[in-house]
């Protein structure tokens, strides 16, 4: 039995008849911004928990799974990523993983809501330890408009680290945005987008891949990975390449990079590429 001072935070997923809960020790932060409502809680077992508009964004305990799988497969799929752009990613965990690659000369993060980053700096400082890296640029702006403003073929990798396709993030899942990403990428450029649960959101994933195909990308792949704090516990990232195919990872290149990862490695990358998505049975 839990001590009386503990309460529960619960995120229900009504359409699938499931919910996930954490025991809460305290409410650490609350912000109502022009875009959304952000809360941070201290949990009993999962470290700190960030919630936006009632939806869980990350926990201290398991965020490394998401950030590593959104970042490293894309960067190791590009032959020489120098200029990287992150759209969203206000908690800065993806930025941290990008800048672990010494080959990256510049990484720009465009987050619409500055309060997400300021709360992350306070309550998830381990994710923000590279925010002052001279290769990092943090912009608090509209990602849709930023992509449109880029010179053609000026970026090597674009990472879409967005919330669910509602509210401020809805446009990041649209076909016009994907076309703008294609135009901004150089030859061999890689786009990767968080693409929700391969168990619950197959129609969304199919739509993302269609948008990528229609924009002109030559090859796409959806990589599945565990993510305990999100609905179904299974999440995905969908990659696309501008010319050529998405080849399996190069183990020698990974070893040379000398990254410190907790989940990602070339075998995980290859296994994720083999993910087979099919109809959900109930």
The residue segments making up the domain with residue 51 are 7-59
The position carrying tokens 């935070």 is 9
Average pLDDT over residues 204-222: 95
pLDDT the model gives residue 74: 98
Mean pLDDT across the chain, nearest whole number? 92
Domain total of the chain = 2
pLDDT at 2 over 80: no
pLDDT given for residue 214 in this prediction = 96
Q: Are residues 189 and 204 in the same domain?
A: yes
Residue 257 counted as domain residue: yes
What pLDDT sits at residue 1?
A: 39
86 and 28 together in one domain? no
d(CA 176, CA 211): 8
What is the value of pTM for the model shown?
A: 0.93
Per the residue annotation, which of 161, 164, 180, 219 is the catalytic one? 161
Average pLDDT over every residue of 93-110: 98
CATH of the domain at 136: 3.40.50.150
pLDDT recorded at residue 30? 97
Q: Are residues 35 and 116 in the same domain?
A: no
Let me know whether 154 and 54 are in one domain. no
Percent of the chain with pLDDT over 70: 92
The verdict on 163 and 213 lying in the same domain is yes
Instruction: Let me know whether 74 and 206 are in one domain.
Output: yes
Q: Is residue 128 part of a domain?
A: yes
Whether 39 is catalytic is no
Residues 41 and 120 in one domain: no
35, 69: one domain: no
Residue 42 has pLDDT above 70, yes or no: yes
Residue 54 reports pLDDT greater than 90 = yes
On whether residue 189 sits in a domain, the answer given is yes
């Amino acid at each position: 039995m839990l001590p009386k001072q503990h309460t529960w935070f619960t995120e229900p997923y009504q359409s699938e008849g499931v919910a996930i809960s954490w025991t809460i020790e305290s409410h650490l932060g609350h912000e109502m911004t022009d875009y959304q409502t952000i809360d941070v809680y201290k949990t009993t077992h999962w470290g700190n928990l960030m919630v936006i508009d009632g939806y869980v964004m990350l926990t201290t305990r398991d965020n490394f799974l998401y950030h590593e799988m959104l970042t490293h497969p894309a960067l190791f799929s590009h032959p020489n990523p120098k200029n990287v752009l992150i759209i969203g990613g206000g908690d800065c965990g993806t930025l941290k993983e990008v800048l672990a690659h010494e080959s990256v000369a510049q990484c720009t993060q465009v987050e619409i809501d500055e309060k997400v980053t300021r709360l992350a700096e306070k309550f998830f400082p381990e994710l923000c330890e590279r925010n002052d890296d001279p290769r990092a640029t943090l912009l608090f702006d509209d990602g849709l408009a930023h992509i449109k403003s880029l010179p053609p073929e000026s970026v090597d990798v674009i990472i879409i680290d967005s919330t669910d396709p509602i509210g401020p993030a809805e446009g990041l899942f649209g076909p016009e945005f994907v076309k703008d990403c294609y135009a901004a990428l150089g030859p061999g450029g890689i786009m990767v987008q968080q693409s929700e649960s391969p168990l619950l959101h197959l129609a969304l994933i199919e739509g993302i891949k269609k948008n990528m195909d229609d924009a002109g990308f030559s090859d796409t792949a959806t990589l599945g990975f565990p993510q305990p704090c999100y609905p179904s516990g299974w999440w995905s990232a969908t990659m696309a390449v501008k010319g050529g195919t998405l080849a399996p990872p190069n183990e020698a290149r990974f070893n040379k990079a000398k990254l410190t990862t907790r989940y990602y490695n070339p075998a995980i990358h290859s296994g994720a590429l083999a993910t087979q998505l099919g109809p959900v049975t109930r």
